[in-house]
Structure 1
Amino acid sequence: MSVTVRSSSDVVFQCAFHVVWCPKFRRRVLDGRVEERLKQLIREVVEERGAWLAALEVMPDHVHLLVEVDPQYGVHRLVKAIKARTSRVLRDEFPTPRSRLPTLWTNSYFVATTGGAPLAAIERYVELQKGR
């Protein structure tokens, strides 16, 4: 999937972001059924918030997301919504995150625009992270 020029009622944009965040204490709790449910929840939130998912990889101790977001909505609001929903649902549905962590996610995250690198290179990087 490549970044395309998109538009809303009053703005035309091309905004793609690489976002990375970790569980609290970088605990390795994102595997198996937790990983699959997390991916499903992220896709749901991205769709509900009117963003576009380009790539998603979940490692046991961090999440990589390549997403396009309307600049009027903002990547920070999208990440906040994803982290809030996934923390609540995963801690309700699975005992491991609830028993091992006071909260699922750290407050921080990394975000970078993809303007400095070709989108294909970033997509490849995200895919290759699975092998680490």
Structure 2
Amino acid sequence: MKNLIQYKSNKNVVYSCKYHVVWCPKYRRKVLIDGVDERLKVILQEVAEKLDSEIIEMEIMEDHVHLLVDVDPQFGINKLIKKMKGTSSRLLREEFPWLKSRIPSLWTNSYFVSTVGGATLDTVKLYIENQKNV
């Protein structure tokens, strides 16, 4: 049975805005290892909750991040990703000093984002869940 769309609302909008987001460390370095990956998950979850967004699925690979997120369209996916990347870069580089010597900044300026509309939510969730098995 397929998931029924669950709508959220703010003062002005009823919405269901789900995005598949992917971004990489600078130079696609394999630095999301040795505890950095687990700490990153916690940081991203905290940022999402603080900004009233929901991480539906998340997988941290050694050289990229996959997220399936639900974001208020009035806040915007670009603001969420900017805050996630900025906060995580600052905190991870403080907590894992070896990151500073490996790369000049943690993240690239770019990222991939796609609305989840063409594929079912279950398909995208399964894709993200199975990243480590690919």
TM-score, normalization by structure 2: 0.95
1:1-132 correspondence to structure 2 within 5 Å: 3-132=5-134
Any idea what SS the aligned residue of 1:19 has? Answer: strand
Equivalent-residue separation in structure 1 for 2:99 and 2:120 (angstroms): 35
Cα separation, 1, equivalents of 2:6 and 2:54? 10
* Cα pair distance change 1:81/1:28, threshold 3 Å: same
Structure 1: which 5+ residue stretches go unaligned?
Answer: none
Structure 2 counterpart SS, 1:54: strand
Deviation at 1:92, TM superposition (A): 0.7
Q: Report the identity percentage.
A: 51
Count matched residues. 132
Cα distance, 1:95 vs structure 2? 2.3
Please give the secondary structure, in 2, of the residue aligned with 1:31: coil
Shift of 1:96: 2.5
For the aligned residue pairs, the C-alpha RMSD in angstroms reads 1.2
Shift >4 Å, 4+ stretches: none
CA contact (8 A) 1:15 1:71 kept: yes
Are 1:91 and 1:98, in contact at CA under 8 Å, matched by a contact in 2? yes
Give the SS at the match of 1:29: coil
CA distance in 1, matches of 2:98, 2:27: 14
Q: CA, structure 1 residues 3+27, in 2 after alignment: closer, same or farther (shift >3 Å)?
A: farther
Q: Name the SS for the 2:46 alignment partner.
A: helix
Measured at CA, do residues 3 and 26 of structure 1 come closer, stay the same or move farther in structure 2, by a change above 3 Å?
farther
Hey, what's the Cα distance between the residues in 2 that align with 1:3 and 1:130? 27
